[in-house]
Amino acid sequence: KPGGRMAIIINDGPLENPTLSRFRSKLISDLNIIAVISLPKYSFAPYTQEKTYVFIADKKISKTDKNENIFMSMVDYDGFSNNGKRFKSKYDDDLPEVEDRLISFLNTYKMKTYDELSSLYNKKVNNEERNAGLFGYKCKIIKLEEIIKNDNVLLTEKYLRSSTMKESLTIREAVNEIQQLINEIRGIVINEN
């Protein structure tokens, strides 16, 4: 009903598939998209290994009703391994922090500007995550106009982890990475011989 809220688990197809752009446009015209949260690929293993997202939206009360700021977040670690076995992981669980940020966002997003929301909720990956190969943001407020400009794509990775967000390396870091790759290649060659 108008003003009602929904939260669904959805795979990545409807959020990014170019042939579903009109479907996403209809979603944007009928719903106030509140949040899109990326879950680890194996969150629902062994039942599915499909990449999934939590999609939260309110049904618009009128056509002029519009939420301009969307909460997007990446759950990289849910406390379990990112494979079909799903054993306890050495990595921290991102879910409690994302839950806290989302609840706070739900209580404030109608009263704050984009800049205020960004200063509260935008969070880049930390050093430990960067060392594990992650880059970009864990959470970020995305303007609706940016989504519309990008063919209504709602995929969190596009806005939080695009390849253009990779930080440039210092010369020392680049040399270290190249040396690690050389050592890995040597190990493979030695093992094959």
- 3-state SS assignment for residue 66: coil
Across the strands, what pairs with 36? 55, 72
Cα separation, 99 vs 105, whole angstroms: 10
From first to last of its 193 residues, the chain has per-residue pLDDT tens of 888 999 999 999 999 999 999 999 999 999 999 999 999 887 887 787 888 999 999 999 888 888 899 999 999 877 776 666 666 766 678 888 899 999 999 999 989 999 999 999 999 988 888 887 888 899 999 999 999 999 999 999 999 987 665 555 567 766 777 887 888 788 777 766 6
Residues 179 and 186: their CA atoms lie apart, in Å, by 10
Q: Any idea which residue has 């864990």 for tokens?
A: 138
Of 66, 86, 58, give the one whose Cα is nearest residue 2. 58
What does the block give as tokens for 29?
């015209």
Contact 140, 121 (CB under 8 A): yes
Cβ(12)–Cβ(68) under 8 Å?
no
Q: What is the pTM of this model?
A: 0.78
**Exposure b/e, 17-43, CB count within 10 A at least 16 = b:** eeebeeebeebbeebbbbbbbbbbbbb
